């Protein structure tokens, strides 16, 4: 008998040929592997020590040195381990770099600070973000670097301005955790924004003094926004200000709702579409200018100059729009694409997309968890892959006059299909007529609105911007009209149940495997997509949820979730219903509630201070929920679970799932663990 060697085996030969086919297509996997490391960091239940992070960084460096000398098989595998460790380390370092004090108690009193952000809350209240914060009788070392305050009530004599120092009497508190176990972690989101407390005020905001210098771009941005809204009043002007400056404070909740339901909300945010349209318009305009002057155009590298000016215009747009993470991501992608043009490389390629993703993950690893990053790169990867396949296949594209129309139809369909699962998972809805709305709106955004916005900005110093703004108004009115028309159609919004934590990773991995892997084995990527879809379709929703304040309870019935209160906790209630895939109103959900329903679930609700002051008893219930901490500790002999605001501060929101043996409790803390952003 001879000695068996793997190279003699046909299965080994097949595996080797499949692996060797990937040699020239491994680079696009770099950000995918980095994202695995980032995801691993955020999925931990305990915060790794700084020493562990440095150890991971050192291990990544060592593996990189070994990978550089690796062979056909070992080299890529070592690089994969290096990139995963690098992503993990980058996420950890970023979490420590943005660390700052967070308010660990309820505060009521004077709040002083400088305005560095102006927007609107989910309840449509004007909201200010303040830095250089001063709190009464609070140690500066324990004072948050930034706080966010919603302005309730009338503020007739106050107009927020950038860099303005203000003072108010406000309620502040820690940022809230997930509204239900497994939900979006608002504490983590606020941590990376540098916000250490949130709250509200019902008293007038007073001006102290105008800021001395600084925030020049913010002041220019808000000045342009106010100027545009003075030229174009109403929601059309607010829409124009949003896409020119990123200031969305003027948009009403009604406008935001119709834009979301029609799947046109992406036109409100300065994203890759806006950045690409603006840079593309500048690139085309400069190239046409060179063509109009042949002597100049033939002597200079017109294409490279046009690309460089397009990048400069995009950089200006980035600064003017506020420079948030989503806009930074869009700028990086545009810069990479036009940088490739300047280097005479293929601009629209998976390599260019990979470079952009690497830069974003390096600068802002936390962006991976947000819908903006996921939707942006899902659409971009899908568009590059599909148009690349059409180009390589050499398919007939029809007559020249029809090609732009086909390009719009194909790009809208592909981008819509790629982003639909992400949008449904994050926003709990599917826009049934979103493709139709985009087909009749996006071309107008590119051909009319964005060029007019560029021209209007250039004409502002001359006082002639009103000409371009009027042209822009025509396009914006059309888009708003389309959004309202589509929203009014029956079935425009299809509610979707929130998926479990493994659904989106499975869908993403399957889709990326199909796009990035080489050869017919790429279609194995269909398997995780099918698995993720099955997990989604069999998603189990809790039979009962309790808010982290103990004031709101939701119990599942045959008709949908019933809520114990008609008002209060509106944001939490809306999130519960959306996660259930239930489009019922708050009033309808409250109408489902009855005391008999709570008793049938073994639940007793004790609301108010007077009720909490009485001796506690189970009264046959298995769970007693108090909205107010009782004056005396519950007796240890009680044979039921007692939930109070004090216990909820440690556990966060609660979810109860049906099992054969009764109810299984899952707390928010069970799923988010003890991390930097929730342990201070």
Query: What are 104-160's pLDDT values in tens digits?
Result: 889 999 999 999 888 888 777 889 999 999 999 899 999 999 999 999 988 877 888
Summarised one tens digit per residue, pLDDT across range 403-413 is 677 777 788 88
- The pLDDT score that the predictor gives to residue 636 is 61
- The pLDDT score that the predictor gives to residue 610 is 67
Stretch among 12-21, 136-145, 444-453, 501-510 having the lowest mean pLDDT = 12-21
Residue-level length of the chain:
680
- The pLDDT score that the predictor gives to residue 86 is 96
- The pLDDT score that the predictor gives to residue 611 is 63
- Separation of first and last alpha carbons in the chain: 68
Q: What gap in Å lies between CA 373 and CA 57, rounded to an integer?
A: 25
Tokens of 530: 């099918």
The residue-averaged pLDDT of 621-625 equals 80
Burial zone of 75 (CB within 10 Å; 0-12 exposed, 13-18 middle, 19+ buried): middle
**622: how many CB neighbours lie within 10 A of its CB?**
15
- The pLDDT score that the predictor gives to residue 635 is 62
- The candidate with the shortest Cα–Cα distance to 237, out of 246, 227, 228, is 228
Q: Binning pLDDT at 50, 70 and 90, where does residue 1 land? A: very low
User: What are the residues whose beta carbons fall under 8 Å from the beta carbon of 56, sequence distance 6 or more?
Assistant: 48, 85, 88, 89, 92
532 touches 509 (CB < 8 A): no
Q: Is 3 helix (H, G, I), strand (E, B) or coil?
A: coil
Summarised one tens digit per residue, pLDDT across range 53-108 is 999 999 999 999 988 887 777 788 899 999 999 999 999 999 999 999 999 889 99
Instruction: Give the rounded percent of residues in the chain with a pLDDT score beyond 70.
Output: 92
Give start and end residues of each alpha helix (H) in 262-301.
272-292, 294-299
Stretch among 32-46, 318-332, 436-450 having the lowest mean pLDDT = 318-332
Summarised one tens digit per residue, pLDDT across range 627-639 is 777 766 666 666 7
- The candidate with the shortest Cα–Cα distance to 388, out of 351, 420, 355, 363, is 351
- The pLDDT score that the predictor gives to residue 2 is 47
Residue 276 DSSP symbol:
H
Give the pTM.
0.87
pLDDT at residue 6 above 60? no
- The pLDDT score that the predictor gives to residue 605 is 78
pLDDT at residue 5 above 60? no
Q: What is 107-214's CATH number? A: 2.40.50
Greater model confidence, 228 or 219: 228
| Strand (E) or helix (H) holding 553 | strand 553-557
Tokens of 102: 């967070």
Summarised one tens digit per residue, pLDDT across range 177-216 is 899 999 999 999 999 999 999 999 999 999 888 766 667 7
The residue-averaged pLDDT of 274-289 equals 82
The residue-averaged pLDDT of 388-400 equals 72
**567: how many CB neighbours lie within 10 A of its CB?**
10
Query: E strands of 178-256, at which residues?
Result: 195-201, 206-210
Greater model confidence, 594 or 50: 50
Q: Is 396 helix (H, G, I), strand (E, B) or coil?
A: coil
The residue-averaged pLDDT of 473-483 equals 93
Q: What gap in Å lies between CA 134 and CA 142, rounded to an integer?
A: 10
User: What are the residues whose beta carbons fall under 8 Å from the beta carbon of 611, sequence distance 6 or more?
Assistant: 626, 628
pLDDT, averaged across the chain = 85
Q: What gap in Å lies between CA 270 and CA 333, rounded to an integer?
A: 13
pLDDT at residue 384 above 60? yes
- The candidate with the shortest Cα–Cα distance to 130, out of 120, 108, 145, 141, is 145
Q: Binning pLDDT at 50, 70 and 90, where does residue 396 land? A: low
- The pLDDT score that the predictor gives to residue 680 is 64
Greater model confidence, 425 or 267: 425
Greater model confidence, 340 or 400: 340
179 touches 572 (CB < 8 A): yes
354 touches 28 (CB < 8 A): yes
Q: Binning pLDDT at 50, 70 and 90, where does residue 368 land? A: very high
The residue-averaged pLDDT of 585-597 equals 87
Q: For 471-515, what is the HEC assignment?
A: HHHHHHHHHHHHHHHHHHCCCCEEECCCCCCCHHHHHHHHHHHHH
Ranges in the chain annotated CATH 2.40.50: 107-214
The residue-averaged pLDDT of 284-293 equals 80
User: What are the residues whose beta carbons fall under 8 Å from the beta carbon of 366, sequence distance 6 or more?
Assistant: 42, 91, 94, 95, 188, 192
pLDDT at residue 440 above 50? yes
- The candidate with the shortest Cα–Cα distance to 351, out of 17, 24, 22, is 24
In which residue are the tokens 């690139």 written? 283
Q: Is 146 helix (H, G, I), strand (E, B) or coil?
A: strand
Q: Binning pLDDT at 50, 70 and 90, where does residue 541 land? A: very high
- The pLDDT score that the predictor gives to residue 211 is 65
- The pLDDT score that the predictor gives to residue 575 is 92
């Amino acid at each position: 008998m001879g000695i068996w060697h793997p190279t003699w085996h046909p299965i080994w030969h097949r595996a080797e040929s499949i692996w060797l086919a990937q040699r020239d297509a491994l680079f696009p996997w770099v950000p995918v592997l980095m994202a695995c490391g980032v995801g691993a960091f955020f999925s931990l239940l305990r915060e790794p020590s700084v020493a562990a992070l440095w150890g991971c960084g050192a291990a990544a460096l060592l593996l990189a040195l070994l990978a550089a000398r690796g062979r056909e098989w070992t080299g890529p595998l070592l690089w994969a381990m290096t990139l995963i460790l690098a992503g993990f380390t980058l996420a950890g370092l970023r979490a420590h770099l943005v660390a700052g004090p967070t308010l660990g108690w309820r505060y009521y009193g004077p709040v002083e600070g400088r305005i560095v952000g102006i927007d609107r809350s989910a309840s449509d209240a004007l909201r200010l973000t303040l830095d250089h914060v001063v709190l009464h009788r609070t140690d500066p070392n324990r004072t948050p670097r930034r706080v966010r305050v919603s302005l309730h009530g009338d503020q007739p004599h106050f107009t927020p301005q950038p860099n303005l120092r203000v003072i108010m009497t406000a309620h502040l508190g820690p940022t809230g955790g997930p509204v239900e176990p497994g939900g979006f972690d608002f504490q983590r989101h606020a941590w990376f924004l540098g916000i250490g407390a949130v709250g509200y005020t019902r008293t007038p905001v007073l001006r102290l003094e105008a800021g001395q210098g600084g925030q020049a771009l913010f002041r220019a941005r808000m000045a342009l926004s106010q100027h545009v809204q003075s030229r174009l009043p109403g929601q059309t002007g607010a829409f124009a200000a949003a896409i020119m400056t990123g200031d969305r404070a003027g948009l009403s909740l009604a406008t935001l709702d119709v834009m979301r339901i029609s799947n046109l909300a992406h036109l409100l945010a300065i994203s890759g579409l806006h950045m690409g349209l603006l840079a593309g318009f500048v690139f085309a305009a400069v190239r046409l200018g060179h063509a109009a002057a042949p002597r100049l155009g033939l002597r200079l590298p017109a294409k490279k100059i046009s690309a460089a000016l397009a990048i400069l215009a995009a950089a200006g747009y980035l600064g003017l729009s506020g420079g948030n993470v989503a806009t930074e991501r869009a700028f990086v992608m545009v810069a990479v694409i036009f940088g490739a043009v300047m280097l005479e490389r293929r601009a629209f390629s998976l390599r260019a997309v990979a470079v952009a993703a690497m830069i974003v993950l390096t600068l802002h690893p936390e962006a991976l968890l947000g819908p903006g990053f996921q939707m942006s790169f899902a659409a971009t990867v899908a568009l590059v892959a599909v148009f690349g396949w059409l180009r390589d296949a050499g398919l007939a594209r029809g007559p020249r006059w029809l090609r732009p129309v086909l390009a719009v139809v194909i790009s809208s369909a592909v981008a819509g299909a790629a982003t639909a699962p992400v949008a449904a998972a994050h926003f709990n809805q599917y826009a049934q007529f979103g493709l139709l709305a985009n087909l009749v709106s996006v071309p107008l955004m590119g051909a009319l609105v964005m060029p007019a916005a560029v021209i209007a900005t250039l004409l502002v110093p001359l006082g002639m911007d009103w000409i371009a703004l009027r042209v822009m108004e025509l396009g914006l009115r059309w888009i708003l009209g389309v959004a309202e028309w589509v929203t009014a159609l029956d079935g425009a919004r299809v509610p979707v149940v929130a998926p479990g934590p493994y659904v989106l990773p499975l869908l993403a991995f399957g889709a990326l495997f199909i796009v990035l892997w080489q050869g017919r084995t790429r279609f194995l990527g269909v398997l995780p997509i099918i698995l993720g879809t099955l997990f989604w379709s069999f998603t189990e929703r809790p039979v009962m949820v309790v808010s982290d304040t103990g004031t709101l309870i939701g119990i599942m019935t045959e008709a949908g979730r019933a809520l114990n209160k008609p008002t209060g906790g509106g944001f939490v209630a809306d999130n519960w219903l959306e996660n259930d895939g239930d489009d019922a109103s708050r009033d309808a959900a409250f109408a489902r509630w009855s005391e008999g329903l709570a008793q049938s679930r073994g639940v007793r609700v004790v609301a108010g201070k007077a009720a909490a002051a009485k001796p506690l008893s189970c009264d046959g219930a298995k769970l007693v929920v108090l909205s107010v901490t009782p004056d005396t500790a519950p007796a240890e002999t009680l044979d039921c679970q007692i939930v109070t605001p004090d216990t909820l501060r440690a556990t966060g929101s609660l979810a109860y799932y049906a099992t054969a043996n009764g109810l299984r409790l899952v707390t928010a803390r069970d799923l988010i663990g003890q991390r930097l952003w929730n342990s201070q």
